[in-house]
Chain A
Amino acid sequence: MTRYIIRRLLWGVALLIIVSALTFVMFRILPTGDPAKLRAGRLQNPKIIAEIRNNLGLDKPLLTQFWLYMKGIFLHFDLGFSYYSNAPVKELISTRLPATLSLVFGGAVVWLTAGLAVGIVSARRARSRLDRVSMGGALVLVSAPEYWLGLILLYVFAADIGQVRIFPGAGSYVGLTGAPVKWLTAMILPWLVVAAGTAAVYARLIRGSLIETMSEDYIRTARAKGLSERRVVLRHGVRAAINPVLTILGLDIAALLGSSVLVETVFDIPGIGRLNFDAINHSDFPIVQGTVLLAALFVVVANILVDIAYAYLDPRVRYS
Chain B
Amino acid sequence: MRSLRTILLVGLAGVLVLALAACGASKTSSSSSGAGASSAVAAGIQTPATESLTGGKKGGTLTVLNHEDFEHIDPGQSYFSIDYEAVYATQRPLYSYKPNTFSEVTPDMAESAPQITDGGKLVTVKIRHGVHFSPPVNREVTSADVAYAIERAANSNVANPYYMGYFSAVEGMPKASGGPIPGITTPDKYTIEFHLTEPAGEIVANALVLPMSAAVPPEYAKKYDAEKPSEYGNHQVATGPYMFKADSSGKVLGTGYQPGKSATLVRNPNWDASTDHRPAYLDQIEVKIGGDTEVIGRQVLEGSHIVQDDTVAQPIVKLAYEKYRDQLLISPGSGDHYMAVNNSYGPFTDVNLRKAFWAALDREAMNKARGGSLVTNVMTHFLYPGMPGFEKAGGLAGPKVDYNEHPRGDMAVAEKYMKLAGYPSGKYTGGKTIQVVGSTGNPNAQNAEIANQTLKNMGFKTKFNLVDQSVMYSKYCGVVSEKIDVCPNVGWISDFGDGQAVLDVPFNGKLIVKNGTNANWGLVDHPKINAAMAAAEKLVGAGAREDAWAKIDEELVAEAVAIPYDWDKQAAIRAKDVLGVGDQWNIGSWDFNYTSLK
Contact = CB atoms under 8 A, between A and B. Distances in A.
Interface string A71-109: 000000000011111110001100110000000000000
A33 B474 contact: yes
Interface residues of A, number: 61
A289 B297 CA distance: 33
Interface string A32-60: 11100111111111101101101110000
Contact of B162 (A43, A169, A171, A267): A43
Interface of A: 26, 31-34, 37-46, 48-49, 51-52, 54-56, 81-87, 91-92, 95-96, 147, 151, 154-155, 160-161, 169-171, 259, 261-262, 264-270, 274-275, 277-278, 280-283, 292
A38 to B, nearest CB: 6
Contacts of B230: 86
Interface stretch (B8-16, B54-62, B120-128, B387-395): B8-16
17 contacts: A38-B470, A41-B79, A42-B473, A42-B478, A42-B505, A44-B161, A45-B164, A46-B513, A51-B156, A52-B229, A55-B157, A55-B228, A87-B253, A147-B15, A171-B291, A269-B290, A278-B69
A58 B436 CA distance: 29
Contacts of B160: 41
Interface stretch (B258-266, B413-421, B564-572): B258-266
Contact of B467 (A31, A170, A264): A31
A40 B11 contact: no
A49 to B, nearest CB: 6
Nearest to B161: A41
A151 B294 contact: yes
Given A31-B467, A37-B478, A170-B299, 16 more contacts: A37-B516, A37-B517, A40-B517, A41-B517, A42-B162, A42-B478, A44-B164, A49-B517, A86-B74, A91-B254, A92-B259, A151-B294, A171-B299, A268-B291, A281-B470, A283-B474
Nearest to B68: A278
B164 A280 contact: no
A230 B220 CA distance: 72
A41 B159 contact: yes
B115 to A, nearest CB: 27
Given A33-B470, A91-B254, A42 B161 contact: yes
Enumerate the 3 nearest inter-chain pairs by beta-carbon distance, A residue then B residue, closest first: A41-B161, A51-B156, A268-B291
Given A266-B292, A268-B290, A55 B229 contact: yes
Contact of B260 (A34, A54, A274): A274
B323 interface: no
Nearest to A91: B254
A92 B69 CA distance: 14
A259 B3 CA distance: 13
B516 to A, nearest CB: 4
B65 interface: yes
Nearest to B302: A161
Nearest to B492: A42
Interface residues of B, number: 66
Contacts of A154: 295
A34 B289 CA distance: 25
Interface string B150-170: 000010110111101100000
B578 to A, nearest CB: 15
B515 interface: yes
Contact of B468 (A33, A46, A264, A270): A33
Interface of B: 1-2, 4-5, 8-9, 11-12, 15, 21-22, 65, 69, 71-72, 74, 79, 154, 156-157, 159-162, 164-165, 177, 228-231, 233-234, 253-254, 258-262, 288-292, 294-296, 298-299, 302-303, 467-468, 470-471, 473-475, 478, 505, 513, 515-517, 519
A283 B288 CA distance: 23
Given A31-B471, A43-B517, A170 B292 contact: yes
B228 A270 contact: no
A160 B291 CA distance: 14
Residue among B290, B478, B513 with the most chain A CB within 10 A?
A: B290
B505 A43 contact: yes
Contact of B231 (A86, A147, A259): A86
Contacts of A269: 290
Nearest to A169: B299
A261 B296 CA distance: 17
Given A31-B467, A33-B471, A49-B517, A266 B295 contact: yes
Nearest to A267: B291
B549 to A, nearest CB: 18
Contacts of A41: 22, 79, 159-162, 517
Nearest to B301: A161
A82 to B, nearest CB: 7
B261 A95 contact: yes
A196 B157 CA distance: 47
A45 B4 CA distance: 36
A40 B8 contact: no
B11 A147 contact: yes
A42 B519 contact: yes
Contacts of A161: 295, 298-299, 302
Nearest to B23: A42
A40 B159 contact: yes
B516 A265 contact: no
Given A171-B65, A268-B292, A86 B234 contact: yes
B303 A34 contact: no
Contacts of A171: 65, 288, 290-291, 299
A91 B257 CA distance: 13
Nearest to B70: A85
Nearest to A283: B470
Contacts of A84: 71, 259
A167 to B, nearest CB: 14
Contacts of A281: 468, 470
A29 to B, nearest CB: 11
A42 B295 contact: no
A157 B546 CA distance: 55
Nearest to A150: B292
B159 A52 contact: yes
Given A40-B161, A268-B288, A32 B471 contact: yes
Contacts of A43: 161-162, 164-165, 505, 513, 517, 519
Given A40-B517, A56-B228, A87-B253, A160 B302 contact: yes
A227 B229 CA distance: 70
Given A38-B474, A283-B470, A265 B291 contact: yes
A151 B79 CA distance: 33
B290 A274 contact: yes
A277 B12 contact: yes
A83 B166 CA distance: 25
A283 B471 contact: yes
Given A43-B162, A95-B261, A160-B302, A151 B295 contact: yes
Contacts of B303: 160
A95 B228 contact: no
Contacts of A278: 69, 260
A144 to B, nearest CB: 14
A82 B467 CA distance: 22
A39 B516 CA distance: 12
